[in-house]
Chain A
């Protein structure tokens, strides 16, 4: 990247001027190696309490069964599926930032990719809980996997639900690998910089004896690029398969070919909203304005706006197809969304996902992190509502009026959902405290001092 055109365009830099390889290393590793700030304990404490709420809800669920939730026929898919899709969608921005933007050589990704990947992992962990507990007897969830068993049974490989098992498991494992490989050189830095013996040993284990040899770096870079190349189609496939869970079914409102692209765009939209939700407070809390600059906030806001428009297009196609198809059930489904018993959800969804992000067209708004934060919060809520509308309004009034019904979450539905938010935050707090939240070695590569040799040699 050349500095020239960017400064001419008036764009803020990717790293504040004046930093060197040493200062970047010291600043980022000090977050991990220095004393724990007091607010960390407060934040972690609140998140930890919510984790207890999750454990309580799960215990109650195992003891009494899914009857503690609001699920019933006709709405057999409720919060568990809504939350599953919401969480897994959030995860997608992490992979997008780390893999796709790496392949596109967008160097502004460097200071946000590490915690975006961590966000992916934790979001997938939260997402994974829901289908497992939704099966009713979670202790038998391993039946989903293909393995030789005494019952002589095998999974139905033609079902999107089994595709989901493969897609989500692969996604979780590949995200973990990608994240860990990215961490190795930084763990070596922490090993070399920590003063306590036990810290040296623990980080040393993680670093696997990394010593920064030129041959190692070469293999490492090849591995990292290949992983990015593999993760890119993977991330698209995961949300496509999630959308198949709906689109392959024959319920009006689910059975649509627009679902895969619209779900993938929605996932990236939701994910960027969550990255912004996390990045804006974090840069303020850790004084990282030098590394997570306004440039990052602005670019992420633009990606959020663009994917938001794709999602809005998806809504438009849904409305258009409902009438264009000439199918009375499709048409009814849509009118029922707009004016039926869940109309407030639908209108709130439009407000959050379509209307609110439009303020990001204005450059002055994109340069004010806290307004961007507010817009991102709207999107977080809006994307949850979107899944609620898709799952609930499609199911609650299907083909026969005699089988219509209503659905609402119970206390335990909400407790489980809020509990997973607690789990997500608790894992994130632990990550911030024990691992470098910004990739140190990649930050070194985008510093001006790393550019010099290239210019002199060519």
Chain B
């Protein structure tokens, strides 16, 4: 785990470690930096698909609820008008679509990020609390095939890290 004092240094370090062949990388920053995420080389987020599924489920559930209540369970004949007056059902269907999609966006984001997780070994790193203020961290996993305690440390130091420390699992 290496601490850097500027986003530019972190991005350069991400790229350099990637070129050195490391793959198990993660970075910690006080705000989202797209380049870091790209430099680390991760895949697309699965979240949009989850939200789409949630929205479709919401639309189906909302419409079926109204259909079932108005046509099957409690039909009211008002001047012979059709029971399945789907046009009127669109408004609640729309609202349930949004509701389910929004919940799947938030819960899906938590699930993909493995939150809530109150304890994580990185919190033990000295000065890590600055990651939520103005410090930028790069972590190389010990399970990385390239990982070697000495070499990795000197690589990170050569990239201009302010401080390099090991995180105990």
Contact (Cβ within 8 A) B31 A162: no
Which residues of the other chain, A, contact B131 by a CB distance below 8 angstroms? Answer: 192, 211-212
Residue among A160, A210, A214 with the most chain B CB within 10 A?
A: A214
Contact (Cβ within 8 A) A219 B109: yes
Contact (Cβ within 8 A) A453 B88: no
Digitize A257-288: 1 where CB-to-B-CB distance is under 8 Å, 0 elsewhere.
00000000000000000000000000000000
Interface stretch, picked from A340-348, A363-371, A438-446, is: A438-446
A177 to B130, CA, bound (A): 27
Which residues of the other chain, A, contact B85 by a CB distance below 8 angstroms? Answer: 158
Digitize B15-39: 1 where CB-to-A-CB distance is under 8 Å, 0 elsewhere.
0000000000011111111011100
Q: Does B158 contact A (CB under 8 A)?
A: no
Decide: A208 near B30, CB < 8 A? Known: A22-B134, A174-B99.
no
Smallest Cβ-Cβ distance to A157: which chain B residue: B66
Decide: A214 near B29, CB < 8 A? Known: A219-B109, A237-B91, A452-B7.
yes
Which residues of the other chain, B, contact A216 by a CB distance below 8 angstroms? Answer: 113, 115
Q: How far is the CB of B24 from chain A (nearest CB, A)?
A: 12
Contact (Cβ within 8 A) A223 B30: no
Which residues of the other chain, B, contact A191 by a CB distance below 8 angstroms? Answer: 132
Q: Does B118 contact A (CB under 8 A)?
A: yes
Interface size class of A (residues with CB under 8 A): 35 or more
Smallest Cβ-Cβ distance to A29: which chain B residue: B133
Decide: A212 near B30, CB < 8 A? Known: A167-B95, A457-B11.
yes
Q: Does B156 contact A (CB under 8 A)?
A: no
Contact of B120 among A211, A231, A442 (CB under 8 A): A211
Which residues of the other chain, B, contact A221 by a CB distance below 8 angstroms? Answer: 32
Decide: A449 near B7, CB < 8 A? Known: A177-B102, A214-B40.
yes
Q: How far is the CB of B133 from chain A (nearest CB, A)?
A: 5
Contact (Cβ within 8 A) B70 A223: no
Digitize A178-221: 1 where CB-to-B-CB distance is under 8 Å, 0 elsewhere.
10110001001101110000000000110011111111111111
Interface stretch, picked from A37-45, A147-155, A406-414, is: A147-155
Digitize A230-270: 1 where CB-to-B-CB distance is under 8 Å, 0 elsewhere.
11011001000100100000000000000000000000000
Q: Does A226 contact B (CB under 8 A)?
A: yes
Majority-rule SS of B interface residues: helix
Which residues of the other chain, A, contact B11 by a CB distance below 8 angstroms? Answer: 453, 457
Contact (Cβ within 8 A) A234 B8: no
Contact (Cβ within 8 A) A219 B98: no
Q: Does A35 contact B (CB under 8 A)?
A: no
Contact of B91 among A155, A167, A189, A205 (CB under 8 A): A167
Smallest Cβ-Cβ distance to A454: which chain B residue: B35
Contact (Cβ within 8 A) B115 A210: yes
Q: Does B6 contact A (CB under 8 A)?
A: yes
Residue among A189, A222, A231, A450 with the most chain B CB within 10 A?
A: A222
A152 to B75, CA, bound (A): 11
Which residues of the other chain, B, contact A204 by a CB distance below 8 angstroms? Answer: 118
Q: How far is the CB of B23 from chain A (nearest CB, A)?
A: 13
Q: How far is the CB of A445 from chain B (nearest CB, A)?
A: 5
Contact of A234 among B26, B73, B98 (CB under 8 A): B98
What would 29 A/B residue contacts be, using CB atoms closer than 8 Å?
Answer: A25-B134, A158-B85, A166-B91, A166-B92, A170-B98, A170-B99, A174-B99, A181-B106, A189-B133, A209-B116, A211-B123, A211-B131, A212-B131, A214-B26, A214-B27, A214-B28, A214-B29, A218-B42, A220-B109, A223-B108, A226-B105, A230-B51, A230-B101, A230-B102, A237-B91, A237-B98, A441-B31, A444-B134, A454-B35
Given A217-B32, A226-B101, 7 further pairs, Cβ under 8 A: A146-B69, A177-B106, A193-B129, A211-B131, A214-B33, A226-B51, A457-B11
